[in-house]
Amino acid sequence: MIAGEDIEFQNILSGFLMYDSFGNQLWRSDYVRGRFAPPELGLTPLTRYLDSIPITPVTSVWLSCRFYMQDGVPNHSILGMADSTQEFGGIFIGKGSANQKLGLFTVKTDQTETRVTEEAGSTFLTNILLRIDMQITNFNSASTNIKVYLNQNTTPTINWTGNTTGLGITALDCFRWVHNDSVSPGRQAVTEIILADDDTRKYIGVPILACNAAGTTNTTDSGAYTDINEIRLDDTNMLQFGFAGQIFEGNLTSAPAGNYNVRAVKVIARASKGDSGPGTLKIGIDSGGTDDGVSRVLTTVLTSYVRLMATNPITSGFFTIAELNALQLYLESAA
């Protein structure tokens, strides 16, 4: 299981997407097109900003993200893992007894928030883009172990073992970012979220490839790549498929420069069907001129449909950088 998450568009519960400021300061604009930003001050602590699209519930998981915060309030949670079906509850990191001291919190579904430990030092720095990796092992047991690594260090900043039963939830299925007051809420950011069952510290990041030109084929009834490549979600323009077998392909922006390996590629499409007409959308890629789509049965409500590919389905090998750079987004309607 690995679910790279980044600029999503259906689970922002409070706050919004920003993309026109602080690039390569609060977020890495070479990788992603924008950042989640919280709303204004004054919310109750623990108010949800964002849940990632739920994964199959787990009790052991790695979470990775990039995080920036100016100031912040001591003794409150910021981000962690939660149960998407519950408004409160989970395992969070946040501000310890001082605003640059990393703290670890358990939160119950009744909103009881307990700081179970904090780092001895003060390395949870404000005003700098941090890389966070957190490993949770055996959640909902008397001997849960949680390690938090800052900036891909080999030694955890927090290494806590303790009881995580009785929180009101028994498994974790989403990344969650919650309210912690900041002097400048606009100067907070979370990007490049990864949930995985293996060590996330080896991952360089999560680049976003968005359509930037027409692809090889577009036989849709209406719409072009410009209708589906917006940064901030806009449902008012779209591609429309009136019959089965219609295809849309779009060229994509390039992958980041450098020499690296590709662990996984994910295609996301936000789509719905009509009361009649085609009801299935194949989502996938055109790689080297060959199309590969996997069916997703749509509903009449706009929803994000995901296809995660650990390997290139056309070559059966891992994606290469060259393949990534030549990739086209592929969508096809089906009955």
Partner 1 sequence: MSIDVTKAVVPIVPGVSPVRISVTKALVIAVITSTPVVFHISSCPCIEPLKIKLCPLC
- Give the CB-side neighbour count of residue 281, counting CA atoms within 13 A: 29
The pairing of strands 48-51 and 2-5 is unpaired
262 is a contact residue toward partner 1 (CB under 8 A): yes
**Least distance from C-beta 168 to partner 1, angstroms?**
26
Whichever of 117 and 240 has its CB closer to partner 1, that residue is: 240
Of 121, 166, 245, 274, which lies in the binding site for partner 1, with binding defined by CB under 8 A?
A: 274
Interface with partner 1, residue 260, by CB under 8 A? yes
CA-CA-CA-CA dihedral for 109, 113, 117, 120, to nearest 10: 140
Restricting to residues 289-318, which ones interact with partner 1 according to CB under 8 A? 298, 300-302, 318
Q: How far is CA 87 from CA 55, 57, 111, 167, 283, in A?
A: 16, 16, 9, 12, 31
| Binding track, positions 9-38, relative to partner 1; x by CB under 8 A | x-----------------------------
Rg (CA), the chain: 20
Q: Which of 59, 229, 295, 320 binds partner 1 (CB under 8 A)?
A: 229
Torsion region of 229: left, alpha or beta (phi above 0 gives left; psi -120 to 50 gives alpha): alpha
Give the residue with the Cβ less far from partner 1, 82 or 281.
Answer: 281
- Cα angle 137, 6, 274 (rounded to 5 degrees) comes to 115
Q: Half-sphere exposure of residue 99, counting CA atoms within 13 Å on the CB side? A: 12
* Stretch touching partner 1 by CB under 8 A, among 91-99, 109-117, 136-144, 199-207: 199-207
Size of the site for partner 1 (CB under 8 A): 74
**Per-residue interface string for the shown chain with partner 1, residues 164-193, x marking contact by CB under 8 A:** ------------------------------
